[in-house]
Amino acid sequence: MSNFFKETVDNLGLGVCNVDREKKITYWNKGAFEITGFDEKEILGNKFCFWNENCPVESALSSGEMRESNSVIECKNGKKINISYKIIPNMDKDKKIIGATIIFHDISKHIEIVRKVEELQQMASVDYLTGLPNRRMFEKSLNAALEEMHRGNKKFGIIFMDIDNFKKINDNYGHEIGDLVLKMVSAKLLSTLRPYDIVSRWGGEEFVALVSHVDRTKLFAIASRLRSMVDRMSIFNGECVIKVTLSIGAVMANENDSVQSIIKRADELMYKSKNSGKNRVTIEMQN
């Protein structure tokens, strides 16, 4: 290898090495040293053994086909890093495999950035306290359901729920107990609804559910079951037992609905339940 070519390969910022037919390392560039911590003197002549099982180098040497993927390897200092690699079989003039060139680079920082972005996206779509989808995510799901209804006339309903007398719970027992109530109500709603329904914390002590594949009768039955299941809950605070109830409004989506209009109708019916004595379901009359 010429000095010019070697210098060029050394400054690519990539790990580059060659192995022979028996996987013995015959070339190890500066980038490979910087990534792994193994220098040229201690690694030349040794077998390339960063993979003990399902070794892609062996696969490339036996098949004559290039291998390309991501993997985890252990560096000299014991630290494990994520790499992206490409293994290119080398052949002589008679097309016999005589070894392979392995090109790799450290993608650990990239993976960490992707992980942090995913965490931020998760935080942006999930309510921090209950773990339910937040208002922003629910509005996206509701908008998608409205579009699907317009395309295929797939019926769905909205159930809007508010915990009765929640301010008194916070005032009498403190915000920690109030948070516990929100978590327990969230868990009860989630476990009571069907797997394909969506329930969200709308804000404060308000929750909203998108219930698919229902008519008005089925919607009322599901809303009533949610009310009943929460009504049966008991939250123990020392010697005190805290009971919780829901006031609920339920509506079926119609062709003229927007996200804002259907939520507004369900919200108004929820307040009608509150004004009628609380712990009840009010469903919109059929048009």
pLDDT tens digit string along 130-171? 999 999 899 999 999 999 888 877 889 999 999 999 999 999
List, by residue range, all CATH 3.30.70.270 domains of the chain.
126-283
Q: Which residues, 6 or more positions from 249, have their beta carbon under 8 angstroms from its beta carbon?
A: 159, 160, 265, 266, 267, 268, 269, 270, 271, 272, 273, 281, 282, 283, 284
Q: Which of 205, 206, 268, 284 is catalytic?
A: 205
CATH topology of domain 3-111: Beta-Lactamase (3.30.450)
The pLDDT value given to residue 285 = 86
180-232 pLDDT, tens digit per residue, is: 999 999 999 999 999 999 999 999 999 999 999 999 999 999 999 999 999 99
H-only helix segments in the chain: 3-10, 30-36, 40-43, 56-63, 108-125, 135-152, 166-173, 175-192, 216-231, 259-275
What are the structure tokens assigned to 120, written together?
Answer: 């931020």
In percent, how much of the chain has pLDDT > 70?
93
Calpha distance 64→67 (Å, rounded): 9
Is 147 an annotated catalytic residue?
Answer: no
What are the structure tokens assigned to 58, written together?
Answer: 């062996």
Averaged pLDDT of the chain = 89
Calpha distance 269→251 (Å, rounded): 8
The pLDDT value given to residue 209 = 97
The pLDDT value given to residue 240 = 81
CA distances from 99 to 41, 73, 226 (A): 20, 21, 67
Note the pTM of the prediction, 2 decimals. Answer: 0.62
The mean pLDDT of 107-121, rounded to a whole number, is: 76
List, by residue range, all CATH 3.30.450.20 domains of the chain.
3-111
Backbone angles phi, psi at 133, to 5 degrees: -55, 140
91-101 pLDDT, tens digit per residue, is: 988 889 999 99
Backbone angles phi, psi at 158, to 5 degrees: -120, 135
Provide the residue type at 284 as one letter: E
Calpha distance 199→188 (Å, rounded): 11
CATH of 126-283, one of 3.30.70.1140, 3.40.50.300, 3.30.70.270, 3.30.420.40: 3.30.70.270
